[in-house]
């Protein structure tokens, strides 16, 4: 086992000082060609690589960014991570992933752990529990320490920081409008309670589209589940109690599941009943029929978040003005509605 070699080791071997070695490796003008060559050759031979930790301590820059998300077994978050990772890597940053598992306490613990020097900034999406509690002190503390934060998707207005979201209201509006244009009359919405920022926005878009039309909103056609967790019974009960010809769902799982319920009742998709979901994951693509969705462009969101964060980390002055980037959702048309 050949342990890592340090500047000190090289200096000792070559009988020069550490600073000479340091400068030589940086190709400094101050050092003679001779010594530089000697040092560089030696360093190469022994595969010298500077120690990241030491550099971090010196520079007060870790080149790590902390990503705190509620759930990783979820296509949307997964694509966001990929976007973050790609962009961050390209700029020389590593990504530390922490999962809050939708728990407030875990979110707090994770942030505290990372905030003590492990990372240069945070990219995060709030846990449902955090949004429900409305307690954002852990975020406040971090931003007050001068650690940049970028919130994405599940955000809060209580914290002053950069934010990236898609226009959820518009996405739901577009989807609902599509139904209306295709002549659907009984359009349901399966969503979650309003404390989730995204659900709230989507519900608003649904309502706006209906109110703009002649149809109007029928409260009984809106199912609000307590969480994003699958609740087969409630959905079945809801679907059985209604005469529907279109259903908008706040995620793809709800949509695919309710599609199946409809099929079991002998309904034809999209003739008798159409479906649109949110999240453009594998499930939508390979469902039968394939599911039309409002794509949230997770990867793009990740890239944008990472860019905003790193720009802020690397800008000297502390930003005084934070921006919120709103990405446009896109309707990906598949077989669960008329083409």
Q: By CB under 7 A, is residue 89 in contact with DNA?
A: no
Size of residue set near DNA by CB under 7 A: 29
Q: Are 281 and 75 in contact (CB under 8 A)?
A: yes
Give the nearest distance from C-beta 63 to its own copies in angstroms: 9
Residue whose C-alpha is closest to residue 202's, from 287, 333, 293, 332: 293
Cis amide linkage into residue 289, ω under 30° from 0: yes
Q: By CB under 7 A, is residue 32 in contact with DNA?
A: yes
Q: By CB under 8 A, is residue 232 in contact with its own copies?
A: no
**187 DSSP β-pair partners:** 246
Task: Provide the residue count of the chain.
Answer: 339
Q: By CB under 7 A, is residue 60 in contact with DNA?
A: yes
Rounded CA separation 21/289 (Å): 65
Residue 84 has a CB neighbour count (10 Å cut-off) of 30
What binding mask, one character per residue, do residues 88-117 give for its own copies by CB under 8 A, x or -? -x----xxxxxx----------x-xxxxxx
Q: Are 247 and 228 in contact (CB under 8 A)?
A: no
Please report, as residue ranges, which positions from 139 to 158 form the binding site for its own copies (by CB under 8 A).
141, 144-146
Span of 128-136, 211-219, 221-229, 281-289 interacting with its own copies by CB under 8 A? 281-289
Rounded CA separation 224/220 (Å): 10
**CA within 13 Å, CB half, 37:** 3
Q: By CB under 7 A, is residue 44 in contact with DNA?
A: no
Nearer residue to DNA within complex by CB, 105 or 314: 314
Residue 243 token pair? 């005469």
Q: By CB under 7 A, is residue 30 in contact with DNA?
A: yes
Rounded CA separation 221/273 (Å): 14
Q: By CB under 7 A, is residue 41 in contact with DNA?
A: no
Residue selected from 8, 185, 237, 285 as contacting DNA according to rule CB under 7 A: 8
Please report, as residue ranges, which positions from 2 to 21 form the binding site for its own copies (by CB under 8 A).
2-4
Nearer residue to its own copies within complex by CB, 174 or 269: 269
Give the nearest distance from C-beta 118 to DNA in angstroms: 13
Residue selected from 260, 326, 332, 338 as contacting its own copies according to rule CB under 8 A: 260
Give the nearest distance from C-beta 298 to its own copies in angstroms: 9
Size of residue set near its own copies by CB under 8 A: 56
Residue 337 token pair? 């509605």
Rounded CA separation 34/292 (Å): 67
Give the nearest distance from C-beta 54 to DNA in angstroms: 3
Q: By CB under 7 A, is residue 57 in contact with DNA?
A: yes
Residue selected from 20, 31, 75, 189 as contacting its own copies according to rule CB under 8 A: 75
Nearer residue to its own copies within complex by CB, 217 or 289: 289
Q: By CB under 8 A, is residue 26 in contact with its own copies?
A: no
Residues that bind DNA (CB under 7 A): 6-8, 15-20, 22-23, 25-26, 29-36, 49-51, 54-55, 57-58, 60
* Interacting residues with its own copies (CB under 8 A): 1-4, 47, 49-54, 56-57, 62, 64, 72-73, 75, 78-79, 81-82, 85-86, 89, 94-99, 110, 112-118, 141, 144-146, 253, 256-257, 259-260, 263, 281-283, 286-288, 318
């Amino acid at each position: 086992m050949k342990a890592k070699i340090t500047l000190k080791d090289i200096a000792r071997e070559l009988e020069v000082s550490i600073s000479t070695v340091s400068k030589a490796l940086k190709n400094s003008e101050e050092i003679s060609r001779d010594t530089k060559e000697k040092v560089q050759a030696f360093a190469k031979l022994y595969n010298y690589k500077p120690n990241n930790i030491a550099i971090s301590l010196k520079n007060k820059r870790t080149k790590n960014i902390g990503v705190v998300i509620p759930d990783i077994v979820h296509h949307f978050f997964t694509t966001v991570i990929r976007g973050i990772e790609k962009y961050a890597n390209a700029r020389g940053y590593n990504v530390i992933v922490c999962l809050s598992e939708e728990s407030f306490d875990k979110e707090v613990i994770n942030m505290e752990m990372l905030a003590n020097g492990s990372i240069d900034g945070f990219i995060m999406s709030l846990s449902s529990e955090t949004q429900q509690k409305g307690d954002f002190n852990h975020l406040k503390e971090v931003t007050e320490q001068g650690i940049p934060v970028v919130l994405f998707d599940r955000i809060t207005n209580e914290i002053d920081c950069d934010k990236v979201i898609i226009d959820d209201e518009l996405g739901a509006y577009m989807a609902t409008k599509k139904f209306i244009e295709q002549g659907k009359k009984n359009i349901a919405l399966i969503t979650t309670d309003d404390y989730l920022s995204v659900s709230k926005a989507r519900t608003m878009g649904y309502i706006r589209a209906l109110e703009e039309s002649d149809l109007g909103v029928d409260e009984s056609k809106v199912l609000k589940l307590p969480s994003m967790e699958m609740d087969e019974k409630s959905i079945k009960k809801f679907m059985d109690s209604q005469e529907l010809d279109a259903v908008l769902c706040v995620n793809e799982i709800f949509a695919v599941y309710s599609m199946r319920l409809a099929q079991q009742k002998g309904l034809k998709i999209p003739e008798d009943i159409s479906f649109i979901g949110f999240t453009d994951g594998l499930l939508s693509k390979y469902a039968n029929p394939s599911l039309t969705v409002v794509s949230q462009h997770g990867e793009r969101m990740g890239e944008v978040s990472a860019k905003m964060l790193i720009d802020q980390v690397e800008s000297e002055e502390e930003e005084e003005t934070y921006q919120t980037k709103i990405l446009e959702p896109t309707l990906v048309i598949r077989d669960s509605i008329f083409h």
